[in-house]
């Protein structure tokens, strides 16, 4: 049986890389569109139909055209959404009764990268076996359909408006955010023309920043991976809070009125507590191996079940489905609310946090105060070649020594990234100095062992 690591093109979050280098080249993207069309539209009675959306990076035009041609060659119709957040594409795929949705985005990466990920007709990421089928089809000769059977392409003219209304519909219709001043960092990405309208139409005083994409400035010193711009703006405008989205809009981090960071773990805590108080939690919370120990302890104190999944929103989704729970997410701000969306959605997650503020009458700082945050440090060790962590006696010996020193007051995580050629070394504990020292020790050990 094949495993995810056996895939040639697909990683943990679709296909991603440097534009102009394999597999992010026009010829491979064309072939990918054809192969995906052949696989995904097999169940179509007549023509299949797919939706294609993208973020704001300049290479999106190239990749959109190549995918469109590939799907057409496979006899599949295409609806082009233009710039649209990843969760918006998932939503529209379901409501348009399409066979699949395609996202052209490299998420939080800078403009020189790009990527492709697929949603099934149900608005969820493709299962591993379907990705394997697409990869197998890519090895076959590309045969263009007869002229009478070629797929057609059209613009989806009201994608933006439909998604704005959907986002607003996820909170009670009487809920409004009048009196809240919000700084909204759109990361110069796919939410630039959507998120400001959502929050403004719900009554908030919105100050948008990083909302002028030029094809090159997506995620550049802004968005959820660079909170400094937002923190400065919140204090400058004396706002109640700030919201930072990423380039494709599937993640969100926040900043309280004092300019302090509110990460995905703290947002999960706020949502879990609010839902429990309203008797709407329906189970427990799912985090990941990277989730701060403070959330696990806060859940235990509040009698909220908590489970950890592998890192990656698809694994959070799998565990939520397995447990029949509704709420999960990652420290990075991928928050999944299965009663509202089929994938992580930065706008919808922020709306629910704001609703918790309004319902409770508390500030964001007050809502997060019940969760202690353990010092946590991570170092990404770059790899020049493949390296088997588990097989390294040197790494295992260092790992055991670090875990013994931490005892019950912390934990260690070593893992190879699924999207970059790095090994992530994370240490968490009650003593910040000890955490920093052990993280560096383990990172040095991994680097040394990988060079042997």
Specify the pLDDT at position 145.
95
CA distances to 21, 162, 179 from 109, in Å: 16, 27, 34
Alpha helices by DSSP H, 278-378? 293-301, 313-323, 346-360, 364-368
Give me Rg for the CA atoms of the chain: 22
Res 292 pLDDT > 50: yes
Percent of the chain with pLDDT over 90: 88
pLDDT tens digits for range 93-121: 999 999 999 999 999 999 999 999 999 99
pLDDT tens digits for range 312-338: 888 999 999 999 999 999 999 999 999
Cα–Cα distance for residue pair 333/349, rounded to 1 Å: 9
Specify the pLDDT at position 128.
87
Q: Which residues pair with 413 in a beta bridge?
A: 426
CB under 8 Å to 337, separation ≥6 — which residues?
170, 271, 326, 327, 345, 348, 349, 352
Res 355 pLDDT > 60: yes
Query: Average pLDDT in the 190-219 region?
Result: 98
Query: Average pLDDT in the 71-79 region?
Result: 96
Confidence of residue 6 (pLDDT cuts 50, 70, 90): low
Cβ distance 145 to 205 under 8 Å?
Answer: no
Cα–Cα distance for residue pair 325/272, rounded to 1 Å: 12
Query: Average pLDDT in the 196-220 region?
Result: 98
Q: Which residues pair with 424 in a beta bridge?
A: 380, 415
Confidence of residue 1 (pLDDT cuts 50, 70, 90): very low
Specify the pLDDT at position 31.
97
Cα–Cα distance for residue pair 232/175, rounded to 1 Å: 29
- What would the two tokens of residue 15 be? 């296909």
pLDDT tens digits for range 363-395: 999 999 999 999 999 999 998 878 888 899 999
Residue tagged active-site, from 59, 72, 79, 107: 107
Res 42 pLDDT > 70: yes
Confidence of residue 409 (pLDDT cuts 50, 70, 90): confident
pLDDT tens digits for range 237-258: 999 999 999 999 999 999 999 9
- In the chain, the domains with their CATH numbers are 4-157 (3.40.120.10), 165-368 (3.40.120.10), 376-450 (3.30.310.50)
Cα–Cα distance for residue pair 117/29, rounded to 1 Å: 12
Cα–Cα distance for residue pair 402/410, rounded to 1 Å: 10
Q: Which residues pair with 17 in a beta bridge?
A: 114
Confidence of residue 408 (pLDDT cuts 50, 70, 90): confident
Query: Average pLDDT in the 152-173 region?
Result: 96
Judge whether 43 counts as a catalytic residue: no
Chain centroid, CA 101 distance in Å: 16
Specify the pLDDT at position 140.
95
Res 236 pLDDT > 80: yes
CB under 8 Å to 179, separation ≥6 — which residues?
203
The answer to whether the bond into 389 is cis (omega within 30° of 0) is no
Percent of the chain with pLDDT over 70: 97
Query: Average pLDDT in the 34-63 region?
Result: 91
| pTM, two decimal places | 0.92
- Rounded to the nearest integer, the mean pLDDT of the chain is 94
């Amino acid at each position: 049986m094949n495993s995810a690591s056996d895939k040639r093109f697909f990683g943990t979050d679709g296909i991603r890389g440097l534009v102009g280098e394999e597999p992010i080249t026009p010829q491979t993207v064309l072939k990918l569109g054809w192969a995906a069309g052949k696989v995904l539209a097999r169940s179509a009675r007549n023509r299949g139909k797919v939706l294609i959306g993208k973020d704001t990076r300049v290479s999106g035009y190239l990749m959109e055209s190549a995918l469109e041609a590939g799907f057409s060659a496979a006899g599949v119709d295409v609806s082009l959404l233009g710039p649209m957040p990843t969760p918006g594409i998932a939503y529209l795929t379901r409501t348009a009764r399409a066979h699949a949705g395609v996202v052209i985005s490299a998420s939080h990466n800078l403009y020189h990268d790009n990527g492709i990920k697929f949603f099934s007709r149900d608005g969820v990421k493709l299962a591993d076996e379907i990705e394997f089928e697409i990869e197998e089809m890519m090895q076959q000769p590309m045969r263009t359909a007869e002229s009478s059977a070629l797929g057609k392409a059209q613009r989806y003219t009201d994608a933006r408006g439909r998604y704005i209304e959907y986002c607003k519909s996820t909170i009670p219709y009487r809920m409004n955010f009048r009196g809240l001043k919000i700084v909204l960092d759109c990361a110069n990405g796919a939410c630039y023309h959507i998120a400001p309208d959502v929050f403004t139409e719900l009554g908030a005083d919105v100050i948008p920043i990083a909302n002028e994409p030029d094809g090159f400035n997506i995620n550049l010193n802004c968005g959820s991976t660079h909170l400094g711009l937002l923190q400065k703006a919140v204090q400058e405008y004396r706002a109640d809070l700030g919201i930072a989205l990423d380039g494709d809009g599937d993640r969100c981090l926040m900043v309280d009125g004092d300019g302090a960071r509110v990460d995905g773990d703290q947002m999960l805590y706020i949502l879990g507590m609010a839902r429990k108080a309203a008797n709407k939690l329906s189970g427990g919370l799912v985090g990941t191996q990277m989730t701060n120990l403070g959330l696990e302890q806060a859940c235990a104190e509040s009698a909220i079940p908590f489970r950890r999944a592998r890192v990656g929103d698809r694994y959070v989704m799998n565990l939520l489905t397995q447990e029949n729970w509704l709420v999960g997410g990652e420290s990075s701000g991928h928050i999944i609310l299965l009663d509202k969306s089929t994938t992580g959605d930065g706008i919808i997650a922020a709306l629910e946090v704001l609703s918790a503020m309004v319902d409770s009458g508390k500030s964001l700082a007050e809502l997060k105060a019940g969760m202690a945050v353990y010092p946590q440090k991570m170092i990404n060790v770059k790899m020049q070649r493949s390296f088997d962590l588990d097989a390294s006696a040197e790494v295992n010996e260092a790992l055991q020594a670090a875990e013994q020193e931490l005892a019950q007051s912390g934990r260690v995580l070593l893992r190879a990234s699924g999207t970059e050629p790095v090994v992530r070394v994370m240490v968490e504990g009650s003593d910040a100095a000890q955490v920093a020292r052990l993280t560096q020790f383990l990172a040095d050990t991994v680097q040394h062992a990988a060079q042997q």
